[in-house]
Amino acid sequence: FCGMDIFWLSPQPYVPATRFETQSECPRICVDVLVRHKESGKMVRIYNVHLDHIESPAKAKGMKVVLDKIAEDQKKIPAEIILLGDFNEEPTGLAITYIKENTELKLVEATAEIPGTWHEFGNLNPGLKIDYIFVSDNVKVENSFANFTAMPVSVLFPTMN
């Protein structure tokens, strides 16, 4: 473990409980941790985000805050990136598009094979995907799966060469 940060998805990321005017009443955060991979010695930064569940503009703005933070962190301490969480956004949504079109960070979806993750607390809708894991384009993913009992999305990383 090398470090941790928590920031709000808002115009003032370091002012607790802040949010965008165009989002639900729920303030949203991102937690990031910096760790060193034991076997390879590589630095890995993991960002766990939970985007707004109602307003698409807030999801897009929140993701912009996250991507800007990742770019800023990469300038300080370059690391492999894992961006994951409940994005509350379908694959064609603007927040997902921002990630896929970001040529600076070059993140790829590690959960592309998983068709749906939304479950409304037990009633799986296999056609609706809102949970994702994105990784640096040079990180190898062994496989990905969703546990449809509790709905976590998982990815196995064989090594960090």
The pLDDT tens digits of the residues spanning 47-88 come to 999 999 888 899 999 999 999 999 999 999 999 999 999 999
In angstroms, the CA 142 to CA 15 distance is 38
Specify the pTM.
Answer: 0.87
**R_g over Cα of the chain:** 15
Phi/psi of residue 33, each to 5°?
Answer: -130, 145
pLDDT tens by residue, 119-145 = 666 666 566 888 898 999 988 777 665
